[in-house]
Structure 1
């Protein structure tokens, strides 16, 4: 397959295509506009959050060949805001326009089993795991893992969906594979960790690398609740997290921003939980506590511009507004040092990300 290089640095007025019209696409569109670029969104849903700020929306399915051809025709470079973009669609686009991050990153991240094998193959630790294609595989894996583990669908799970936890399980697993949809599954050994952290890192078209300080994350019901920076980890652990992120970026010949989630263990070591080939919820704090947000960093990278400074000017805590939490917005605005960002979604539903806010404070001495 021929991959078209980015004709960068892209001059102002160039058009960037974004596949996906959610809040991440919206924030990418905002960052692109600040740098003088135009945005076209490929998204089937009318009046999606990103289209409210884009110059144009192509309202079609992500794998619609005519829509993809139109997107390639009008775009100087194409990116995406979620990792479940059809790989075939990304590959088709890449034959006629630069697509960043590369389709290979999608292929690796869309399948948890492939992702774990990729990470282990480049020397990065993960939880122990086994492939589960039937109930017998599950029973064998639980036996190996002392009855404890997390069973996940290999594809399409997010925000805690498509998962089932086992703790010291000694019962009958008959019917479990079918109950999980009869699809390929992965069983991961439960990990005893002190905290969850993530690193937002970037790689430019010239191979340059940059990373933001690791954030410490708290999840509720599988959905990110808050990200705190700095994380309560040692300088050595923070450096290791960044090195791991850089190794992943180089191995994928990546261009753009990536989110890498880790479990931090008691001895300071790390294991990677998962990677996200896109801007990431746990990096939203960068728009309030850094001169260059993760969204501008991504646009810089895919446009062939120099990567920006990732230094913090503040410590901070970012919190998501989930469902009815958005009703807190007016009261939040009365607080000092608070940056609020709402996503333009008309309906607040349980589990739906409606916005986020970041409280900043002076960097602790």
Structure 2
């Protein structure tokens, strides 16, 4: 099999080797990519150092090594015809070295920008002319004591975020004044950071697009997201969840961001909905993830093409189709806390993990449970998600309320 695209599902080379898609990373996003690729007839290969990684456990090939191991990367290239990534912190140089041998999507340059908040915000600013003026929050980079001292007063109160490696609320601190800002920068180790002005946040949303090397770009519906403790808790996708005009702007902005990156693959961009000062709402672009996203998990059961099938299509160079959502949907993120907290079956919290009442949850109409195959539950660990679909918004919200109560989670 050569490295030319498109790769046809089920095709083999002269030696009988099947078309194979490789993925850097063996977490739950890699697992769902592997499942989608295998369902379409592809063989799969995963590079991840963890012998029990969710994706590695179900893949045809599991290369167990560090993400920057030259021998492991060479092995992944040998057994793959095209390669993608399932998390944004994979070393960009590793993707660049793979790209010299095989098609890689997304490319190293796009991933490198997503790994650095300052570079990411600079890209968003460059895109503003093409995305109806959707910009990031006012911000400043802080790399030195001099830049710390030069922070404009208008950026306070604000949120200080590490430029690299922050996720799920980690590497962040709210600061009210210069003294708190200086103290927070010290606590974060004086690493490069970005200070963002605190905005009058009303809601959060995200958009997932898929773009091919031929510039074909399609968008999923806009997702309304609720976070708790910095971690996505609930995604709602149905008519009325987001104002239609704002939804169209968010989709157009996301496509512009992808196109200006020359991006290939699945990209998620997150937005804040903020007061515009005139009684309405405005969009502020927050950050992007160069991969499928938690907020897009509902697509597995509510759309005719999931975000993972779209990723397979983009990586393999296959045609992209505009996804159609056929059912209102709510997605509940399932953290390891559920295994220790009180629920409908166990009135008391437990020091040891107790399986949640999945039988009662699955007795509810339109529930679809997705667990990630992780060996043990622990607080804060993403263990799975529950998709809820139904014929009407009211039906989906009613089922979601019942599922949340059974699991001992806060109501919508």
The alignment's TM-score, normalised by the length of structure 1, stands at 0.94
Structure 2 equivalent of residue 195 of structure 1: 203
Structure 1 equivalent of residue 338 of structure 2: 325
Question: Is 1:182 paired with 2:187?
Answer: no
Q: 2:370 aligns with which of 341, 351, 357?
A: 341
Q: Which secondary structure state, in structure 1, belongs to the residue aligned with residue 151 of structure 2?
A: helix
The within-5 A match list for 1:190-339 is 190-230=198-238, 232-266=241-275, 267-325=280-338, 327-328=355-356, 329-339=358-368
1:86-140 deviations in Å (ceiling 9; x for gaps) = 0111111111111001111111100000000011012140001101124553354
CA contact (8 A) 1:138 1:187 kept: no
Mapped to 2, the partners of 1:325 and 1:64 lie a distance apart of 36
Mapped to 2, the partners of 1:316 and 1:249 lie a distance apart of 26
Q: 2:153 aligns with which of 116, 139, 143?
A: 143
CA contact (8 A) 1:258 1:277 kept: yes
Q: Which secondary structure state, in structure 1, belongs to the residue aligned with residue 214 of structure 2?
A: coil
The within-5 A match list for 1:44-59 is 44-59=49-64
Question: How far 1:359 moved relative to its partner?
Answer: 1.0
1:274-330 deviations in Å (ceiling 9; x for gaps) = 000000000000001012110011101111111134111110110111113253333
Question: How far 1:175 moved relative to its partner?
Answer: 4.5
Mapped to 1, the partners of 2:31 and 2:152 lie a distance apart of 42
Count, aligned residues:
360
Query: Which piece of structure 1 moves more, 206-215 or 10-19?
Result: 10-19
Structure 1 equivalent of residue 81 of structure 2: 76
Distance 1:172 1:285, change over 3 A: closer
Structure 2 equivalent of residue 358 of structure 1: 387
Structure 1 equivalent of residue 20 of structure 2: 15
Distance 1:70 1:96, change over 3 A: same
The within-5 A match list for 1:55-70 is 55-70=60-75
CA contact (8 A) 2:271 2:283 kept: yes
Distance 1:136 1:164, change over 3 A: farther
CA contact (8 A) 2:46 2:61 kept: yes
Query: RCO greater where, 1 or 2, for CA within 8 Å and sep 6 or more?
Result: 1
1:178-228 deviations in Å (ceiling 9; x for gaps) = 320221011011111221000111112321111111010000111000100
Structure 2 equivalent of residue 132 of structure 1: 142
Mapped to 1, the partners of 2:118 and 2:149 lie a distance apart of 18
1:27-66 deviations in Å (ceiling 9; x for gaps) = 0000001110011100001111001211010000000011
Mapped to 1, the partners of 2:217 and 2:281 lie a distance apart of 24
Mapped to 2, the partners of 1:175 and 1:314 lie a distance apart of 48
Q: Structure 1 regions of 5+ residues with no counterpart?
A: none
CA contact (8 A) 2:82 2:316 kept: yes
Q: Which secondary structure state, in structure 1, belongs to the residue aligned with residue 210 of structure 2?
A: strand
Q: Structure 2 regions of 5+ residues with no counterpart?
A: 11-17, 129-133, 340-354, 395-412
Mapped to 1, the partners of 2:314 and 2:150 lie a distance apart of 45
What's the RMSD between the two structures over aligned residues?
Answer: 1.8
Is the radius of gyration larger for structure 1 or structure 2? Answer: 2
Question: How far 1:171 moved relative to its partner?
Answer: 3.6
Question: How far 1:234 moved relative to its partner?
Answer: 2.0
Structure 1 equivalent of residue 95 of structure 2: 90
